[in-house]
Amino acid sequence: MRRSSFGSVETLPSGRYRARYATAVGRWRAAPTTFTTKAEARAWLAREQVALEQTAAGSPKATATVRPPRLRDYTAEWIAERRNGRGEPLRPSTRRTYETYLRLYVASAPLGGKRLDEVTTEDIRSWHRGLGPDRPTGRARVYAFVRTVFGTAVADGLIDANPCKIRGAGQARPATPVEILTVQQVAELADAVGERYAAAIYLGAWCQMRVGEVLALRRRDIDLQNAVVHVRRGVTWIDGVASFGPPKTDAGIRDLAAPVAVVDVLAAHLTRVDAGPDSLLFVGRTPGSPPPVQTFSDAVKRAARRCGLPATFRFHHLRHAGLSLLAEAGASVAELQARAGHSTPAMALHYQHARAIRDRDLASRLDAVIAGTDVPSSS
């Protein structure tokens, strides 16, 4: 970072430059956009310094020069410069999702045309009401996205406070109930889906893996001798094209001890996988490429219907089943978090809560038994 007598210029991981300066109240105010050269960044600082001096002198024309950008413009810049926790560019699928949020829910709304400092909490509440309560999960994710954008604007010193203050609005709630399968139901589902994807069912349930992690597995990720599955990447699809990359967070990179049942199924499955350490465990119609996630999901849904499972059943419910059983077996929050690859304990606490509910249910059943039994008094 290069400091001058007024403000500073910082080189970003993207190679662009950010200019900012400290305000009179000790907060940082950043330029509404980043710059391709240091000279452009310094020129912005020089203009800001002149504008501040004019404002202090009472010049009316200075007011417009220090206004923050419009929400839609700032959000577009935010997406362009956003990095993950490792300082790397966003995954293509994540970037596409954010761009979709911007196009459909920010730029097209009256909110998007307002400058950051014009947006009030009531504006946010009105915008949130129009997001469509019939899709609660998507609604929560869009709100959380916009809240994060405003959080960055606060950190940049462009506004004093985040207007997104709706309690719980950013917490995604599943639109369909999660189906927790039993051990027998998992085995029946694996049989119903057939040998092509049976191993995927076991990996989802008993190694608690995400669908993108399962479909990205290669032969070298399976260590049968030590009964370990190495999770090193995931796959996403952009316009139907598979894109491999590391998990979203470092927590997603993990080594999973596989139960004997999973090892046995994997051993049988590997006999049908092409030789070579980079051979995919699950292949689609295109050689060397995994099946599209929709193709895989449809196969699982058809198998679920044959097993008599609800139409709302999804592959990720297997992960819930495995983690819930681990919680019932006494796994700690930290153990559940590590096993699932969660970056925070929040989701692990969900399974601990499910275990507590189960404990209360068992206690209630015990109460019923005790109430119907004459307990002999001690002598």
Cβ–Cβ < 8 Å for 178, 320: yes
Q: Give the residue carrying structure tokens 């954010």.
A: 98
Q: Directed axis angle between helix 183-193 and helix 293-306, to 10°? A: 120
SS (H, E, C) 229-272: EEECCEEEEECCEEEEECCCCHHHCEEEECCHHHHHHHHHHHCC
Q: Are strands 228-231 and 17-22 parallel, antiparallel or unpaired?
A: unpaired
| Active site (catalytic) residues | 210, 248, 316, 319, 342, 351
Joined together, the tokens standing for residue 308 give: 């008599």
- Residue 137: partners with Cβ closer than 8 Å, 6 or more residues away: 172, 173, 174, 175
What tokens were used for 355? 């275990």
Are the beta carbons of 62 and 51 closer than 8 angstroms? yes
**Residue 303: which of 321, 292, 315 has the closest Cα?**
315
Residue 279 in tokens: 């051979």
Residue in 357, 293, 316, 332 with CA at minimum distance from that of residue 181:
316
β-partners of residue 3 are: 8
Q: Which residue in the block uniquely carries the two structure tokens 């709100």?
A: 143
- Strand, helix or coil at 237? strand
Rounded CA Rg of the chain: 27
CA distance 164 to 128: 10
Q: Which two tokens stand for residue 257?
A: 């001890």
For 297, the 3-state DSSP assignment is: helix
